[in-house]
Amino acid sequence: MNKIKNGENYDIIIIGAGPAGCIAAHELANEFDVLVIDKGDLPQNKPCGSLLNEDSIDILKNWEDVSDILISPSFLTLGYIDFDNKITIKTKRQFWNTDRKRFSSWLLNRLPKNVTISSHTLFKDFEIVNDGIEVIVNRDSSLKLKTKYLIGADGTLSTVRRGISKIPPRRSTLYQVLVTGSEERNDFTWFVFDTSITNYYSWVIPKGDHTIIGTTIEGRSKRNMDLLLKKISEELKISTKVLKTEGHPATIIGNLDEIVLGTDNILLVGEAAGLISPSSFEGISYALQSGMMAAQAIRTESNSVIDTYRKLCNPICRRLSDQLEKSQIVSNREKRSEYLRSVISE
């Protein structure tokens, strides 16, 4: 990964090399000098279910061969288990099953060679100066860079967002355990509802020789995770010997006002903007779509890049609005029962 030097000047600096930052860099590299910085190791290896929905697939299938990012079983069909209402439903909806580190590596490898990427580089702050934006980097603020546009693709704990908005994103921690083995017929991913475990939902995702079981738990996490593992093990007849436990915060928006897309020449994309499904925590398609829209807004020569970006994001926000409605339905036991019964079963 490239070493950057004090005083360097870029057209665009992107903070964060997740899906949102990578796709924005990809879409801007032909026309601009782009720097991507990330505080962590690259490729990213973020705890994630790494299921890609149809919106992500639509974007990525235009990008050469995707077989490198798929993990067995490559396609998973969605099923719902509702322990509260004693309902199990298999739908026809499908996801691509990927490995997050391989996905990150794949995205980074597809960036044009003129994109400068700097890992282990912490974005600290920025300052608006006469002819652009000064970007301050590293724990000791030892590097100062210049840019015309700053893109905050720095995820749920976004520092860029804190610099431009007083609206704090609401967050919760998502926990996952990796357990040995998988179901005999393991081509299903299960979304699980059980209010004795969480008011949100839990998930079961087979990944090759192991299975991911994850959930959002406020407070008594050990007791609830143990209960979830017991119930899943009985229901799906899989071994739940824990290989690894991991957790990561995720943004959970309660209404569209919590989405912040930026100001002037500073744009927020992906989870930094609050773009993640409040009903399923599916965030990769929102990251990819908003990263593309931010790039398109910058490429379109207009007086106000932020206004163009906001307009381009309207369909994404409408999709989130539908997801917000859905999250209200699935968090209510009676309404959820009706909703699940309306889903086409096999």
Binding site for ligand FAD (CB under 6 A): 15-21, 37-40, 44, 46-51, 122-123, 153-155, 157, 159, 174, 176, 214, 248, 250, 270-272, 276, 281-284, 287
Between CA 35 and CA 326 the distance in angstroms is 38
CB of 321 to ligand FAD, least distance (A): 18
Q: CB-wise, 3 or 86, nearer to ligand FAD?
A: 3
Q: CB-wise, 18 or 169, nearer to ligand FAD?
A: 18
Between CA 269 and CA 69 the distance in angstroms is 23
CB of 193 to ligand FAD, least distance (A): 17
CB of 241 to ligand FAD, least distance (A): 20
CB of 86 to ligand FAD, least distance (A): 26
Nearest to 13 by CA among 107, 118, 165, 96: 118
Q: CB-wise, 155 or 262, nearer to ligand FAD?
A: 155
CB of 170 to ligand FAD, least distance (A): 14
Q: CB-wise, 169 or 270, nearer to ligand FAD?
A: 270
Q: CB-wise, 171 or 335, nearer to ligand FAD?
A: 171
Q: What are the residues facing 204 on neighbouring strands? A: 190, 213
Between CA 272 and CA 261 the distance in angstroms is 9
Between CA 76 and CA 69 the distance in angstroms is 14
Residue nearest to ligand FAD (CB): 283
Q: How many helices (H) and strands (E) are present in the chain, helices listed first?
A: 9, 16
Q: CB-wise, 38 or 82, nearer to ligand FAD?
A: 38
Region for residue 142 given its phi and psi (left: phi exceeds 0; alpha: psi -120 to 50; beta: otherwise): alpha
CB of 281 to ligand FAD, least distance (A): 5
CB of 266 to ligand FAD, least distance (A): 14
Q: What are the residues facing 79 on neighbouring strands? A: 90, 190
Q: CB-wise, 46 or 148, nearer to ligand FAD?
A: 46
CB of 341 to ligand FAD, least distance (A): 25
Residues 306 and 264 sit within 8 Å (Cβ to Cβ): yes
Burial of 239-270, coded b for 16+ CB within 10 Å and e otherwise, reads: ebeeeeeeeeebbbbeeeebbbbbeebbbbbb
Q: CB-wise, 248 or 310, nearer to ligand FAD?
A: 248
Between CA 292 and CA 107 the distance in angstroms is 13
Q: What backbone torsions phi and psi does residue 309 show, to the nearest 5 degrees?
A: -60, -45
Please identify which residue in the block is written with the tokens 């322990």. 83
